[in-house]
Amino acid sequence: MNTIRLYLRSMRMLMKCQLEYPVFFILQTLAQLVMEGGEMMAVILIIDRFDQVNQWEAGDLFFFFGIMSVTFYLTECFGRGLTGNFPSLVRTGMLDTLLLRPRGVMTQVLCSAVDPRRITCIAVGTASLIIGCSLARVQWTLLKAAAMAEAVAFGSMLILGLFAVEAVFCIYSVKSVELVNALSYGGRSACEYPIDIYPRPLRILFTAVAPFALVLHAPASYILDKPIYGWPAWTAFVCPLAGAAFYGLIYCIFRKAMRYYRSTGS
């Protein structure tokens, strides 16, 4: 509980710091809105050109785009320390100071940064979800609401795990590796659409390696009443656990990698 209170207090202070320069914050936020709006426009263009893609209709595509955007940018907003700060901490030797404090390195890194500009991206994703639910005529039930909450929660753990993979590579190579970004940011772009529209290699990549298909697409297809790959309904509640398993595995690797880290003596 103390760790949670520390994290929430850090987020509150960082938010206040970000808002100290309101004009800069507004301009940066609008830039994020334009970028995410452009990605949503791509979905609109696809829908305008094709009546459906495989079994997926317009509402379904909006829903997949929305659930990925909300989950990814919510995680990036509050997990920015791993993907934004950690590489510079290693390069400059400032990671040494974290090792001297009575809190875990992961906790301190997560408390070191927040990115409230992503709120506009989350808003675009939420709007896409609402449009998708309306067009697909989703009939919400308690089970579907539970599947949605589970997808966002465990999807956040999966994305945080992918950010931690970049941190692990930074420990061994000093600089981040773009291959990791291909899985995290590239996975976000690719998995804004149903996984079954892609060729087999990509389906394997985002099912077995970076399991976006298990964590987000399985529950999303259940909510839309179009089970992906014809899987039974219960898989919508079991598959998202892959996100927790992935994060747990990467966290253990991260702790082991920290033993490899050699202090700069600063």
User: Is residue 162 a contact partner of residue 243, using CB atoms and an 8 Å limit?
Assistant: no
Q: Is 123 helix (H, G, I), strand (E, B) or coil?
A: helix
User: Is residue 61 a contact partner of residue 47, using CB atoms and an 8 Å limit?
Assistant: yes
Judged by average pLDDT, the poorest of 18-32, 151-165, 175-189 is 175-189
Which DSSP string corresponds to 189-203? HHTTS-GGGS-HHHH
| CA dihedral angle for residue 158, residue 164, residue 168, residue 171, rounded to 10 degrees | 170
Mean pLDDT of the chain: 86
Better-scored residue on pLDDT, 72 or 6: 72
| CA dihedral angle for residue 238, residue 239, residue 244, residue 245, rounded to 10 degrees | 100
Number of domains in the chain: 1
Does the global pTM surpass 0.85?
A: yes
Give CA–CA dist 15/114, Å, rounded. 7
Range of the domain at 76: 2-264
Q: Is 56 helix (H, G, I), strand (E, B) or coil?
A: strand
Q: What is the largest CA-CA distance in the chain?
A: 62
Read off the pLDDT of residues 40-80 as tens digits, 9 standing for 90 and up. Answer: 888 888 877 877 788 889 899 999 999 999 999 999 888 88
